[in-house]
Amino acid sequence: MDSVIKHTITVGLGKIKTNNKGKELKSIVINDKTYRYNKDKPLSQTLKNTLSKIEKSNKYRASKILNQASDKNKVRSAIKQYAIKQKATITDEQSAFKSYVNAFSISNINMKGLRGLSYLKYQEDRIKQFLNRNTGMKILIHVDALSTKGDTITFKSRRYEVLNTDDVADVISKMAQDIELQIENANLSKSNIVIEKISKITVNYDKYNPTRAGSYIELPKWISSKKACINIKNGDNKCLKYCVQCSAFKIYEKDNPERMRHYNKLKDNIINWECMNYPCSRKDIDRFEELNSGLVSINVYKQFNEEEQVKPDRTTKIKNAKYHVNLLIIEGDDNKYHYVLIKDLSRLMGIQYNKNTKKKHMCPHCLKGFHSNDKLCNHMQKGCLVIDAQQIQMPKKGDTIHFKNNNRKFKAPYVMYADFECLTTEYRPSMSKPIDPNKSFTEKYQQHKPCGYQITVVNSITNETESYLYRGSDCMQHFVKTCRDIRIKIMEQLKVNVPIIMTQEDEDNFNNATHCGICEHELNDDKVRDHCHMTGNYRCCAHSKCNLLFNHKDFKILIFFHNLKGYDSHFIICNAHEFHSKKRLMS
């Protein structure tokens, strides 16, 4: 009720009584009536009733709304002043990446740590405006981070393709997460490096024209002559919708299924077409399958270069959908595309499997041909969908490949070698199924039981070895316990960070180095000293990024067995439930 009392005094409905010296008395006058009032004690019931009537009055409610509005204006004013103070500088730039024509940078970022990445969300309108003028865009960000040592470390996000304005906010969030993940995985703490702030964010983007299928295009003669496809003569861009409906509602069994009269008045209460964009791209098909989870699955095929062959362009990941649709995407003039329903995949692609003219039953996933439908069904049930569709494509003349994952050159600091010893013991008949003398059988009379093991741990840095030998009937349980103890010991040793030890020869090597000792590319002005954190010995002169990635953050303790697959693995699998540790012990 304090706010109501304050209101009555402010608007002149009441006042607190005072004596001749101006000291407040323990009473209040409201509408010429006097009530007992002490701020430190509960209100009397009579005063509460009077204040309750004032609280319900329109005058009090209006006053309360005006006060709230005033408070909001003060907050907005404070936010505006803070935003002006923290406002970053947006500058148009020339992109440093090939195939990216447009770029702008965000600099003068006055936020500590990784909070500077939050400036990206304020560029959402700018990206949407560009997307409204183009059919699609590809985008990535380039971030310069300032460390506490004064060095600038650069990070780059993955490239994203954006086709709809609704996806912009999600893509911006994913790019920021990419940078945060890279900084986390860079293991900066082991080099005593802390990110102080984000100094600059560069957004690189350009228009992207994805394959989007729309209005009717005439089929090539070699495809139309096979009579395996239905080319719907639509004037709009909804060819994908009509193809799916043609397959789901079996319109292909009717006369002239390519004519639009079958689809204009079709009542489709089965398939969900919300959030679909036309003309449709591959991402739209992914979204469509998600909306109709388990109901519709779509495979897309296309012509292979200029040859009269068809290959997979998109393979569904949905298994056993109620309606499976095979589509062929064809290209017309002016980079226009159109979806065509494949009515008979075997007729369209059978000749590609072999030259035999007999009908083949083609697997829509791996494109393998079978002579009967039963064999095809058996093939599908055995897990064909687990394997991605394949199409062999040879490299062009003059193409070369280069090794890029230089962090995988890092030698494993520790490796384990293990072996089990077993005794042959009498086999108990109760362990086997009853023998039927009328059928062939194998009589088991011995079984192998592990009785001991030895593990040898090799330190590849100091060339030291340590062995663990045990004999006993509980050797498998003891083996698991020993592996856990070894893992804990190794992980503790890997936390060591010995400062670098430089000799005069090492200094000369560093000063004269022109190429990175890890990736073997030119150093230019980017030179740092790479050293072993366990011994402190200088290894080479390297790029700063190569140095940060060249560590054991992804290290797995390798265990080698003699004849693991054929023998020792059987004992390990029987005790696999003992390995409940989150860390990986074997690779």
Map out the domains of the chain with their CATH numbers: 2-83 (no CATH), 89-207 (3.30.1490), 407-434+441-578 (no CATH)
Which pLDDT tens digit goes with each residue over 349-388? 766 666 666 777 777 777 777 778 788 777 777 666 555 5
Which pLDDT tens digit goes with each residue over 480-533? 899 889 999 998 888 888 899 999 999 999 999 999 998 888 988 889 999 988
pLDDT for 211: 61
Angle formed by the axes of helices 124-133 and 168-185, nearest 10°? 120
Instruction: Return the structure tokens found at 565.
Output: 């697959």
Reported pTM: 0.41
Q: How far is it, in rounded angstroms, from Cα 37 to Cα 178?
A: 62
pLDDT(464) > 70: yes
Query: If you average pLDDT over residues 552-569, what whole number do you get?
Result: 84
Instruction: Return the structure tokens found at 549.
Output: 């990635």
pLDDT for 502: 92
The residue with greater pLDDT, 478 or 80, is 478
pLDDT for 213: 65
Tokens 């060591």 found at: 496
Residue among 63, 51, 59, 62 nearest 5 (CA): 51
Which one of 34-38, 277-281, 428-432 scores highest in mean pLDDT?
277-281
Coil, helix or strand for 23? coil
Coil, helix or strand for 228? coil
294: left (phi over 0), alpha (psi -120 to 50) or beta: left
The residue with greater pLDDT, 3 or 510, is 510
Q: How confident is the model at residue 192 (pLDDT cuts 50, 70, 90)?
A: low
| H/E stretch holding 73 | helix 58-86
Question: What backbone torsions phi and psi does residue 444 show, to the nearest 5 degrees?
Answer: -95, 130
pLDDT for 587: 39
For residue 425, CA distances in Å to 82, 420, 479 come to: 81, 16, 21
pLDDT for 100: 58
Strand segments, DSSP code E, in 351-436 are 361-362, 369-370, 414-426
Query: If you average pLDDT over residues 31-56, what whole number do you get?
Result: 75
State the alpha helices, DSSP H only, in 495-564.
Answer: 504-512, 544-549
Give me the percent of the chain exceeding a pLDDT of 90. Answer: 12
Query: If you average pLDDT over residues 561-574, what whole number do you get?
Result: 84
Strand segments, DSSP code E, in 171-239 are 195-207, 229-230
Instruction: Return the structure tokens found at 199.
Output: 């100094």
Which pLDDT tens digit goes with each residue over 303-327? 766 667 788 888 888 877 888 899 9
8 A C-beta contact, residue 346 and residue 362: yes
Which pLDDT tens digit goes with each residue over 321-331? 888 899 988 88
pLDDT for 505: 92
The residue with greater pLDDT, 446 or 66, is 446
For residue 143, CA distances in Å to 70, 120, 130, 198 come to: 40, 11, 21, 7
- Distance of alpha carbon 37 from the chain centroid: 64
Q: How confident is the model at residue 584 (pLDDT cuts 50, 70, 90)?
A: very low
Q: How confident is the model at residue 471 (pLDDT cuts 50, 70, 90)?
A: very high
pLDDT(147) > 90: no
The CA-based angle 171-174-175, given to 5 degrees, is 90
Which one of 275-279, 389-393, 477-481 scores highest in mean pLDDT?
477-481
Residue among 381, 310, 297 nearest 347 (CA): 310
Q: How far is it, in rounded angstroms, from Cα 374 to Cα 377?
A: 5
Q: How far is it, in rounded angstroms, from Cα 513 to Cα 530?
A: 12
